[in-house]
Amino acid sequence: MILSQRKCILAPKIIRMLFLYNIIITLADFLLKIIALFNPKMKLFVDGRKTVFEILSQKINPQDKTIWFHAASLGEYEQGLPVIEKIKEKYPSHKIVVTFFSPSGYEVRKNNNVADVTIYLPLDIKSNAQKFIKLVHPEIAFFIKYEYWPNYLNELKKYNTPTYLISGIFRENQLFFKWYGQFYRNALNTFTRFFVQNEASKQLLLQLGKTNVIISGDTRFDRVAAILEKDNSLDFISEFKNNTLTIVIGSSWPKDENLLVDYINSTSLNVKFIIAPHNIKAEQIQQLQNSITKKTVLFSEKEHKNLADFNVFIIDTIGILTKIYSYADIAYVGGGFGNPGVHNLLEPATFGVPIVIGPNFSHFAEAIDLVNLKACMSITDEKELSNAFDTLITNQNIRQEKGQTASEFVNTNKGATKMILENIKQK
């Protein structure tokens, strides 16, 4: 009786908060359109949403069966990709709809070959959510890792659509677990099942009374493990490497590069470097190239060059870093000097490559595990970077041992996709 009275008391409060939330999102929509006039990235964010409903009307018919996947950005899309691919195999007559929140995800993967429709997700305004769900009418909905949009989730619940969180991860500092987080806790009530990465996430959800939780692990392990079955050869990288020990520097930021360039310029060891910066704007690439004193070539200028003659190869394009890691003897993964931290470690790990990173990795479970297993070395300054590289370059046994540990770590953690598919149901 007391519990039911409590629900009655909370319901009007939730309604008021949802009303306020809708006002805030509507104001944000207005402000973003103004910002887009001056900011190219925000212009993509705004302009990309203008034709969403038109595209849906053209590509999805009322009689179509559909399944919807939502990814915040590129990382979440890659994380969910093994599930998307298997769902496509399991439900070949369904249309797959993939939505992105961020331009950095949509612009890179808008032409993917796994989805029937790839679009931006309109902002979480109630009218947008109603129109979107009516047009897409998904039989199943998947949210990948993060993002809990209350209006979309409420609409899915109205239609009794099975809704799943995959590769979810929860932390104590999230709004759900604050005394003032009732509004967001209420959004979690819409999920049919939570597939989470670890025991800590399950325990946090249990504190909220959520028993519909399965520890499935991280689907990224399935994705990176599958990379080994693909053709990862790149003739120009093989030509550059020329049987020389090679360090691949992936997704580097200026703070990483400040340390790395000093090492590249000063080392006398027989080693080559491939740098794939996170940002490939021409002026930053030029600045990076100018800071390196050793013989350097850009990907965009590689034609008609004898690549074996160069010491440093700067990759000023996107989409090939994964394959490049297959040529690495050592990998440095960037982002560890910024916030929220280090980029994807699992791609070099799956190739059995020892990894070096910066100090900020506490938000990433796989990074913590790889550091604890000693397959990954975390450095904080130039001296530690130099010691780590010198050790890995000169000691083959240590290099191979760390690389094997990294590979075994990926293999041990496969299987999340299979578990998810075994525990979902249609409407």
Q: What are phi and psi of 362, to 5 degrees?
A: -70, -15
**Per-residue DSSP letters for 268-337?**
-SS-EEEEEES---HHHHHHHHHH--S-EEEGGG-TT--GGG-SEEE--SSS-HHHHHTT-SEEEE--TT
User: Which residue of the set 54, 76, 85, 301 is catalytic?
Assistant: 76
For residue 355, give the DSSP letter.
Answer: E
CA–CA gap between residue 198 and residue 175 (Å, rounded): 19
Residues ≥6 apart with Cβ < 8 Å to 330: 245, 246, 247, 248, 353, 354, 355, 356, 389, 392, 393, 399
Comparing C-alpha atoms, which of 261, 303, 301 is closest to residue 282? Answer: 301
Write down the residue that tokens 């969180």 correspond to. Answer: 165
Instruction: Pull the structure tokens for residue 4.
Output: 């039911």
Those residues with Cβ within 8 angstroms of residue 328's Cβ, 6 or more apart along the chain or in another chain: 246, 247, 248, 274, 348, 351, 353
Count of CB atoms within 10 A of residue 311's CB? 18
**DSSP class of residue 201?**
H
| Tokens at 177, concatenated | 């677990």
Residue 76 annotated to the active site: yes
Q: Is 401 helix (H, G, I), strand (E, B) or coil?
A: helix
CA dihedral 343, 346, 351, 357 (to 10 degrees): 40
Catalytic residues, which ones? Answer: 76
